Amino acid sequence: MPRLSAEFLTGDAVDTPYWWEAAKPSPASLDEFPARAEVAIVGAGFTGLNAAIVLARAGKQVHVFEAEAPGFGASSRNGGLLGPGWAFFDGAVKQYGLDVARRVLEESAEALEHVKQTVTRENIECDLKVVGYFKGAISPRAYDKLGHMIDRISKAAACDAYMVPRVEQHAEIGTDLYHGGVVMPGYAGLHPAKYVKGLADAATRLGVKIHSNARVSDLSSTINGFRFKVNGRDMTASQVLLATNGFSGTVSPYLKRRIMPIGSGIIATEPLPPEVMDRLMPKRRMLAGSQRVVTYYRPSPDGTRIVFGGRVLDMSGKEKINVANARYLRSLLLQVFPELESTKISHYWHGLLGFTFDHFPHVKNIDGVFFAGAYNGTGVARASWLGKKVAHQMLGLPEGKTVYSDLKFSGRPYFNGTSWFLPIAVRYYGLLDKWEKR
């Protein structure tokens, strides 16, 4: 396992996800690729595997092609936070109107329910727990803004979020960084690598063939379906689903012009004494700050460590860069919890998010090829939900209707797959955050 070394890291620090200690993505047994598949799914993450389960239950013969191992993408690397999606309300109203915004909220709630039901039905042990979420306001103005947002949402939908003033904040989180914040009680946390492994096992039990180390390329349509290559070998399928999200690369020129791959990194601390965890995270909630340059964090499912994530720009994977990214994330962690100065970091890892210009996911039929993805950094519940929705669309069922098929999926003339403007945007939003904090 690749090791990292620096004075703030444990002696055995690694650059692989903490989650992989319990559930490392491992190659599925290599069945021979058939020459033809009824349904081919590209990508074995939350989207592809949820779709595979629905399609297999409907009697389809499903092959999932994964360039690495099942769950290797964002699905085994994320923070494992899943919530009611209220953060998307204002953006939806602004771009698409109140009706669409209501549907976004409705589907966010349904997505959360879908994950709970799937975990129960498929008997997946993934530490799923409704623990609530606290978002800290970085300034008094940010606190007011959060309060107004909750007021607007409450007028449009049932909303049990409530504000916590600064004087009561230590009941939620042991920091003085924030000026109060908002609690969203229905929020949940899970162990993402266990969840995605459980999905892969469930799909396999239903007869789905998952092929690892199987990279799909050269996708084109034929008279009665699609032709593509898997590791250079020709294959055909009647239906194809692209479930590649931020890892889409060049698999589709259409997606390349519309999905911005953006990096997110996470560190995990060494185990902390229970009394420290009780003080810093007394309710063991999911947590975040209100900054534009996002930070999100949580206790590990066993409650012993802090898992802390934020934006990272260089994902080249070089040891020097990984150490620099870990150092940067640790500096953000110390802004929240200065008392962790002498705590060491045991894991650093990163993964790719798929962003869009409207900041919403999309479910599309692109000249016959189905696509669901672009979760804009919030995909644990939504990828699971839209995997199910797109599968229903592939089956021609009315249940496949989703608001995310009705939104305009646009690119920009200056964008062709490389998020070259990201460093400028992160610096700009960082400056706005600093300004707001002052």
Ligand X SMILES: Cc1cc2nc3c(=O)[nH]c(=O)nc-3n(C[C@H](O)[C@H](O)[C@H](O)COP(=O)(O)OP(=O)(O)OC[C@H]3O[C@@H](n4cnc5c(N)ncnc54)[C@H](O)[C@@H]3O)c2cc1C
Contacting residues toward ligand X, per CB under 6 A = 42-48, 65-68, 72-75, 77-82, 215-216, 243-249, 251, 264, 266, 296, 309, 350-353, 373, 375, 377-380, 383
Shortest CB 335 distance to ligand X, Å: 19
CB nearer to ligand X: pick between 67 and 391: 67
Shortest CB 77 distance to ligand X, Å: 5
CB nearer to ligand X: pick between 169 and 245: 245
CB nearer to ligand X: pick between 13 and 67: 67
- Residue 377 φ/ψ, nearest 5 degrees: 85, -5
CB nearer to ligand X: pick between 82 and 240: 82
Residue nearest to ligand X (CB): 379
Shortest CB 149 distance to ligand X, Å: 19
Shortest CB 217 distance to ligand X, Å: 6
Q: Is beta strand 306-311 parallel, antiparallel or unpaired with respect to 260-269?
A: antiparallel
Shortest CB 196 distance to ligand X, Å: 7
Shortest CB 211 distance to ligand X, Å: 9
CB nearer to ligand X: pick between 47 and 356: 47
Shortest CB 285 distance to ligand X, Å: 13
CB nearer to ligand X: pick between 179 and 382: 382
CB nearer to ligand X: pick between 47 and 179: 47
